[in-house]
Structure 1
């Protein structure tokens, strides 16, 4: 029985989180005093009763969002407060497929959890450093899958034919992008060594707490595949929106 031992090294996560420093509408000070102005409207503040809490701004002349390439002003109405910290978790942080059998699918999964508190929601992207490479000869690879007919890093398709070889993935869970059909369709990973852009696998325009996704890897090798150890690295980017 032909077997192929494969190791998949994973970068657990890399998230981009840009937090702006605290900004005030006005800050007037001297050596003996400092005045903080929260707004230039008719009124603003927090109103409470036994059953509710409301914060508001009232009287803005031209409410709305205004912006240039590097600057955005959100004037005259409240935006969603951060109610929690942004976080991204993934488990396990490494995958070992063990010995592979010719013409037989092997799968393994990772679960990710994201909490995003910004008004702009979040997105999660994924990419591979390169196709699965033979550890002692980087020119020998397990190719990215083409699925049963054709698929790519941007287009998912069914992959159930065991005579179709390669390496790919599918997604299930919360806020998963369309195309995976509940885990029955697969894609190639975007290949960073070819300059391909990381692909979005989860996204939402809304605040989300403990949103879960499951990425399932799938691999199949042919009889002509060189035996030995293969590996690649997968990079996740979890990006908050504000």
Structure 2
């Protein structure tokens, strides 16, 4: 029996129409993500990373191939899949608690259960005491934690992360990487992160999937078989980084 949170992308290709002509943006994408796995997708701008997330979300159904969640083909949006963007996208006229509650608006839960779920996820991201605060009163990192709480509140099978830390300063970004790991371990949800930061991908992920463009395609994968917490300055970490950059065409592997 397929476990909850298993994703299969099979022979997926995608075209856009530009000036009346088809432009291939994804070509023959094949990817399996196991339940509870944390993977990252890296590659240059325009290689189709965010397009893959849109297809997984069900926002775009015009593609060739199949995308299966727990063995069932994805057809449209669903609470089974959550997303966190680079911009936290909290509504400025709502409090943190109200913003997180929005995720549960259409969930088939009693009101009391919704309140408990919202409280649990605000606590999960370490924002207890800020329930009645508005987004402009939160720091960038706190607002992004609020967005993560909103994404997880519906208890999705998969949480998609589209450059969620890209707009933060370096120190806040490092702290939130630790928070993401803690939350992932606590929730056990399958996570797919799109990022331009190779260090971030290697620090967080079980696997790094490398894409290239012209058209967008997967050119390789790197398993991150390192003990945690990972040491970014270790020779093993540097070796994996070199492999990822080599697949991206940014760095040539030295041959002994």
TM bin (shorter chain): under 0.3
- Structure (1 or 2) with the greater helix fraction: 2
TM-score where L is the length of structure 1: 0.26
- Structure (1 or 2) with the greater strand fraction: 1
TM-score where L is the length of structure 2: 0.25
Question: Which has the larger Rg?
Answer: 1
Larger relative contact order (CA 8 Å, sep ≥ 6): 1
